[in-house]
A and B are shown apart, each in its own frame.
Chain A
Amino acid sequence: MRPALRLAAILLALASAPAYAAKPGQEEVQSDISMREISIQSNFTGIEILIFGSVDFSHAPAPDEGVYDVIVVIRAPDQPLVARRKVRVAGIWVNGPGKTYPTVPEFYAVLATRPLRAITSEETLRTLGIGLGNLDFGGRTEGDLDEQTFRSAVIRLKEQQGLFQDIDDGVSFIGRSLFRATVDLPVNVPIGRYTAAVYLFRDGTLVSKNESTLEVNKVGFERLIYLLAFRHPFLYGLLAVVMAVLAGLIGWVVFRRE
């Protein structure tokens, strides 16, 4: 544990901007997202976003030289989650005792130029918290035999929902310094402020990092419904009843047979 902590401290110091901004001529990564805001309306069926960027002071002699590796991590805020496993009780499958994970990102996509382990060491990835396997869900109980199966179930289910993504060849270089990556945000994409972190690696070493943010919001009617339902639920329920009564009245007027 100790060496890992020390490494973490070193890397944290490395990751702070002035450490490499101070050295002129060293590579720096710049990035942005195709859209800073995503609006969820009633016709929303998911969206593809583009993360693009460039490497300043690129030392790459040619586009296909492969000097640099880029890892892009898009992450939504954390959410407490409970995972349950079904057990058989009297012939019926019921939810058994669950495990609570306090800090599961609602959305997490990692894209890279190559498989993560080919880019840098497992140690570095773990310290930076990059990759599905290195996410800290909190609530880890040491020595629990079930821990690993529950953890991988959470990851598997999130992947099935399209809310966790791990794409090995998701980032591609165009020319010596330009790169791009596309991420599919599914229809069930959670709202909130996302961060898109771009890590630049050379020979397995992190040389630069850049971060931008992305707001995912419900707008218009969807926003109104959502706010009503969660902030003024009583009013929302009353309105739902009024609408149902009106629908019934309309039905009666239209179809009544005297």
Chain B
Amino acid sequence: MKIFRLPISILMGLFLFGMASASVIAQGSTPPPPDGEVREVTDNEVNSIAREVYCPVCESTPLDVCQTQACADWRDLIRTKLENGETRQDVYDYFAEQYGGRVLATPPREGLNLLLWIMPVAAVIIGGFFFSRFMKNLRMAGGDGKEDEIETVETAVVPPSSSPIPQSDDEYIAQVERELSK
């Protein structure tokens, strides 16, 4: 019985592991150090910040590829800020303060936005809890205590009337299963 808890716990473990590793993906490049003077800023630096910003007018289009004049002005603003030595985070903070958290691809983790981080984890954990209980109940209903010993070939169990699969097919599956059990 114990061994059959494995799949769910494997799933859960994998999920948590995946969560942890996915957060690694999110880390971007380090911002240029402020040096107090006006410095040369490349398009690439501006774009790397702009791609995480969405203007409120042309929603769903990141700032780095948006073609409107408003967005061009915003990109210039980012450039100016970088030239004045501000960091990536300074720029994001500025936009969030001026236009609200909705202009950032990853909204600030505060207030209602926290739900965006809580909900997926909660959905999987709470859903997983009910799901595993559901599975256990199903297992109880069908338990005969001999799960480890018997290995059933599907063709032997399914009565022909409940299966629309033609005979030749069953035969083929049986053959595959025989191959498998070698």
Whether chains A and B associate is no
* Residues of chain A at the chain B interface (Cβ within 8 Å): none
